[in-house]
Amino acid sequence: MVLGKFKYNMRKDKLAIIGLGYVGLPLARLFATKYSVIGFDIDKNRIIELMSGVDSTLELDSETLQSVLIGEDSDEIGLFCTNQLDKINDCNYYIITVPTPVDKNNKPVLIPLLKASEAVGAVLKKGDIVIYESTVYPGATEDDCVPVLEKVSGLKFNKDFYAGYSPERINPGDKQHTVDKILKVTSGSTTEIGLKIDNLYKSVITAGTHLAPTIRVAEASKVIENSQRDINIAFVNELAKIFNILDINTHDVLEAAGTKWNFLPFKPGLVGGHCIGVDPFYLAQKAQEKGYHPEIILSGRRLNDGMGDYVASEIVKCMIKKNIAVNESKVLILGITFKENCPDVRNTKTVDLVKALKSFGVNITIYDPWADIDEVMHEYGLKSSKSLPNEKFDAIVLTVSHTKFKDIDLLSLKNDKSIVYDVKNFLPKNKKDKTL
């Protein structure tokens, strides 16, 4: 296949994937089935574990990962992982998949993205293409990242090198909707480069691609995906508060309303993670820079960010109604990750619930068979366990619907007055006192 002056040859193109986390590693593995791929990450320990065939994020099993690993300096199809920058200098595609978090004031933090751009700029050559997958506000690729590439490389954008944006759509822990099965939005800094990038992804994404007309359109499409979801969840969270006052079961209402074909099936809960709980702030920041205050986006975010405090107060009310002394009571939290069947604890809102309960003088025990104990302690200063404790609790609170929680013998954990509060509506009705 020939696109203008560019030859499209999957055996000749060499790709570098910058950032080997939940997004970068599955993407690198997928491309490594048809291309020579170098995976780059600044975390030396991450590189060591990956080259030994182990993925601590559990996105890839050992057999899948080992099937694509190749040796150093090999131009064969496969994946080699490194933390040495000089190992990626002969690539002609650089795909950046680093995190884009927010700070304590919910302001976008582009430092990882800009540092990755500096690293790529140091090895950038004429004719190379840099593709960004990290979620950003519209304009970040061309206004913030490209100038860094130009400054470090000394090359001219759209003359010596090119750029593209193809937003990640990875769903951590989801073994059904894997990267190759999710339609991919693509874009390029010129029409010709857009086609080239689109065909690159099309060669491995079985679900197909959608070529956006500009990079800004692609950036905007990504940031509104999660903003839309955030707003819809905020709506049902507000419904849960209203129906709780009216003594109506929210989930019964949603089940009844869901019988209409066009009713959207969202559920109330704690809204965290690295996407839904973060991305709306990126769009809001850009809007505010242009003089517009986004009311719906920010009000939805405020409501969702307050759910930890709300759930904590509801749990305490349930305890008081059963004459359980709240101060010095023992509460078991089932789940600390931000979503089910996944070890990812980034921006988990269960932490807000724990903090709120502690303010009532409650003693907290956290059980999560998926979460890394050291990571939970490092990130949040909280002690968690992968083993179910052998003791009785005054309250048991399920915050994450891990499949493994289905088999828990709740009776063995309860005393005479214990309550069970199910945030996710995951447990059978006869095994809980209340749900959100």
Q: Cα 182 to chain center, whole Å? A: 15
Q: Rounded distance, CA 70 to CA 72, Å?
A: 7
The catalytic position among 91, 275, 318, 342 is 275
Measured CA distances, 102 to 169, 170, 294 (Å): 19, 19, 17
Q: What end-to-end distance do the CA atoms of the chain give, in Å?
A: 55
Query: Is 275 a catalytic site residue?
Result: yes
∠ CA 367-369-372, rounded to 5°? 95
Burial code of 93-119, b = ≥16 C-beta within 10 A, e = fewer? Answer: bbbbbbbbebeeebebebebbbebbeb
Which two structure tokens, joined as six digits, stand for 394? 């005054």
Nearest Cα to Cα of residue 58 among 253, 342, 289, 338: 342
Q: Rounded distance, CA 170 to CA 59, Å?
A: 10
Which residues face 331 on adjacent strands? 364, 395
Specify the length of the chain in residues. Answer: 436
Q: Rounded distance, CA 386 to CA 400, Å?
A: 14
3-state secondary structure 292-360: CCCHHHHHHHHHHHCHHHHHHHHHHHHHHHCCCCCCCCEEEEECCCCCCCCCCCCCCCHHHHHHHHHCC
Q: Residue 90: exposed, middle, or buried by beta-carbon count in 10 A (0-12, 13-18, 19+)?
A: middle
Cα atoms in the 13 Å half-sphere on the side-chain side of 417: 13
Q: Rounded distance, CA 436 to CA 434, Å?
A: 7
Q: Rounded distance, CA 75 to CA 201, Å?
A: 20
- Element housing 396 (H / E): strand 393-398
Which residues belong to the active site? 275
